[in-house]
A = this chain, B = another copy of it.
Amino acid sequence: MTMKALVYTGTQEVEYRDENKPVPGPNQALIEVAATAICGSDMHAYHGLDERRVPPLILGHEVAGKLVSGADHLMDQQVVINPLMTCGHCSPCMSGRANLCSKREIIGMRLAGAYAQFLVIDEANLLIPPPNVEPWVACLTEPTATGLHAVALVERISYRPLSEQRCLVIGGGAIGLLTALILSAKGCSHIDLAETNALRRKTVEQQAVARVFDPSADAVPDVRGYDVVFDCVGAGVTRAMASAQVVAGGILSHVGLQNSDEGLDMRRITLQEVTLLGNYCYTPADMQAALDMLANKRLGDLKWVQVRPLSEGAQAFSDLHHGRAAAAKIVLQPDNHL
């Protein structure tokens, strides 16, 4: 049995072609993909910069669909997939921090991903959305959970409620934008967002939850600095900016990981007692909370999402690569689901 899939075949190459339909193993489910979104990490692979993602590979891990075999009690249900598979019984898994499981495995990295008509996932990794959630919305659960996890880690250790804090978000891609939307939904009224790309700035501005500025041209809007800085880029230059802009005793949430260049100001981090939070993915609880936020329409009009056919995925990757996509997020839908 074959299916259509978008396969990463080499640097800046993805190909829409026939692939073998996957076969679920024990305690696994077969999902018919309804919608799957392109993540920055998929672009990173496409650029040939992710040594963990070796072509040929079906990328993709932001996905909603329908259960077609396995997990029989959920047969034919709409599902959202938690793409991070974990062992379920190690110390991090037992303590609700499954994202730190040493056996964690995200689809679309070593295992086949979601840019296809079908995919296989552990039964434990299925979430059930309410009936009113369309697949293109449901597949945003994963990136939403990434932003929500970062915000939740900050909330857990903050001295004052999040709603009182001045926040700076660096990066206006999907994660930066979602982080700003989540902060706003949680009552933050002071959110500034730095983005160098004019198309992205416009997209974020339209959501009207943050003051958006170009850090390559303008100073940060608030000279007092920020209680929390979310670095949703994670490059040397953004770590330097984050180090400089976080207030004494503040929190630097390190969400992105574009490179490992020097940039962090260890002297300032130490003498001003900054807390730096590393972030990796999300916990199962974050996935559920993110799905709830989307289902309850807490994150605005989502007009920054564009839906395209899976068969035209190569064009989508190329547009993202050349900075021609104003949309913060492109969702691919298998052609029979459009």
Contact = CB atoms under 8 A, between A and B. Distances in A.
A279 B262 CA distance: 21
Contact of A254 (B92, B262, B266, B277): B266
A254 B270 contact: yes
How many copies of this chain sit in the oligomeric assembly? 2
**Interface residue range, chain A:** 20 to 34
A208 B95 CA distance: 32
Interface string A140-167: 0000000000000000110110000000
Contact of A159 (B97, B102, B270, B271): B97
Given A157-B156, A249-B92, A249-B97, A254 B278 contact: no
Contact of A99 (B257, B265, B273, B280): B273
Interface string A81-100: 00000000000100101011
Interface in A154-197: 156-157, 159-160
A111 interface: no
A322 interface: no
B266 A273 contact: no
A285 to B, nearest CB: 14
Nearest to A99: B273
B266 A257 contact: yes
A270 B274 contact: no
Given A159-B95, A269-B276, A272-B278, A100 B257 contact: no
> 8 shortest A-B CB distances, which residue pairs?
A276-B276, A100-B248, A100-B249, A269-B278, A273-B278, A270-B278, A273-B280, A274-B278
